[in-house]
Every structure is written in structure tokens, then in C-alpha cells.
Structure 1
Amino acid sequence: MAMSNTLKQIIYISSAEHPFTDLELSNMLAAIRKNNEQHNVTGMLLYKDGDFIQVIEGEEEVLEPLFKVICKDHRHYSVVELMRKTIPDRQFKNWSMGFHHINSDDPRLAEFNHFFDDTINHQVDAGEALNLLLVFRE
């Protein structure tokens, strides 16, 4: 078996091209999960009011081209890469792609509400983005 290459983790945020229905979200997820399982990619996707935040993990040679494809995906725009780093272990290893459609009144959002704030000067902190994703991992 080939030596495992470097594990990478990429976190990004983006805006949905239109407000997604639950059906659209589940169809998209089914495709993502199938693809991720084939390429040993893990992660978590959160969706709230037209905003996506996603973490993807996998071997570098898989993740780099995958992220290029994600950036070109017509279903979202304004893709902002928050973090790209080498990781010793996967943090979402049990998820081909975990998913939560978050409602504004979700108590887990309490300390992260400003995260989805649409103000122009809003700076998104990469560590905070990871913490938000981890809150929904369980």
C-alpha cells in the first residue's frame, strides 16, 4: 500500500447562488458524500440563510484539485478560503460529509451568531470557523 501523503485540511465560506431547498441540499450532499467516499475525503458542511461554511480533509493530492473544483462550482460564489493547513489526524474522520442546516435559533449558535453577520468589514477568524464546525461534529 502506498505511503499516505500529507493530510490537509481546508476551511472556506461561501454564499449560495440562491436559497437552497431541503431537497436541493440533500441532493447536493448525496453527490458530495459519494465523491468523498471514493476519494477518502472527510469533513463537515454547515448551511445557514444562504451561507455555507465547510471543512474538507484528505490527502494533499486529492484535496488541492477538489478545492479548485469547489471554487468553480456554480451553486455558490464569493468563496473565501479561511484556512489551509497540514494536520496530523482527521478531526472529522467519521463523516464523509457531516451536514447541518442551521436555524437562527439553534442554541449552539449563541457564541457564533456574528459569524454569519453580513457586514462588509466582518473578519472571519479561521480558528473560530473550525470551532463552529467542531460544535456540530457531535
Structure 2
Amino acid sequence: MSDNLQQIVYISSAEHPFTDEEFAEMLGAIRKNNEKLGVTGMLLYKDGDFIQVIEGQEDVLAPLFTKICRDNRHYSIVEMMRKPIVERQFKEWSMGFHHINSDDPRLEGFNRFFDDDTETEIDPGEALNLLLVFRE
């Protein structure tokens, strides 16, 4: 535990539909980098949309999130939540990943996260809850 442990949750849209090979390559690089930096988290992808949580030391996460925001593989990046945490919620994952199908029963009640409706405001706590559902 650390006094400056932090968690960031964000959503974004993929620049193009990702193939399984692109995911494998991307996740391999992310996991290697995260292990080196002591970062944990989870990435969900559905129909061209991402939702991700990253956890780590504040001095590591700030520049990492800046780098993530500059990554041209996605756009419309919205930081949903940035908060100090006492304990990691995704400590088992250097970067957990789920490619979600539309019929996944775990999506019940969370479908609006992947809608193109920009009018609907998304609760940051619900965004984290969605990621926690897929942690198990």
C-alpha cells in the first residue's frame, strides 16, 4: 500500500476495428510495459469502443495516461475518474482484457457504455463497476 496509489478510468473509441492479431500485439506490449512500471488494470473492448482502468503510483500513472491520450489507435478519450486508492482492485492483472460480445450476460445494465448516444451522461462509479464485473 502506498499513499500515492491512484486509479484512472477512461473511455475511448478505436481508430479502426481491431483484429485478434492486433489485440495480441498491443496487449503483449502493454503487459510488458505495465509489469516494468508496476501498473495494473483491465481493458474492455466492444464494437470499436474501449473502457479501461489503470492503477499504480501517481508519478507513474500521470505520464502513462498522457502517453495513452497521444496513442493514435484511439480517439475521443474521456477521463471518467481519477482518484487516490488505498488498495488495487485489479492487482492480479498487468492488463486484463475482454473482447465483449453483444450477447454477454454480464453487460446487462451496462449497455449504454458502448452506445453512440453522446447525450447520455455516464456515471464514473458505474464505469468502474462494469470493469469490476469483468475482473472475475
TM-score scaled by length of structure 2: 0.97
Select 1:26's aligned residue among 24, 27, 39. Answer: 24
Structure 2 residue matching 1:103: 3-state secondary structure:
coil
Task: Report the equivalent of 1:103.
Answer: 101
Matches within 5 A, 1:4-15: 4=2, 6-15=4-13
Which residue matches 2:90? 92
How far is 1:5 from its partner? 5.2
Higher deviation after alignment, 120-129 or 55-64: 120-129
Task: Give structure 1 regions of 4+ aligned residues with deviation exceeding 4 angstroms.
Answer: none
Unaligned runs of 5+ in 1: none
CA distance in 2 between partners of 1:75 and 1:29 (Å):
13
1:47 aligned residue (45, 56, 75): 45
1:112 counterpart residue number:
110
For the 8 Å contact 1:36–1:96, the answer to whether it is kept is yes
2:48 partner amino acid:
G
Contact 2:3–2:86 under 8 Å retained in 1 = no
Alpha carbon RMSD of aligned pairs, Å?
Answer: 1.1
Matched-pair identity in %: 74
Residues 5 and 60 of structure 1 are in contact (CA less than 8 Å); yes or no, is this contact kept in structure 2?
A: no
Equivalences, count: 136
Q: Secondary structure at the match of 2:90?
A: coil
Structure 2 unaligned blocks of 5 or more: none
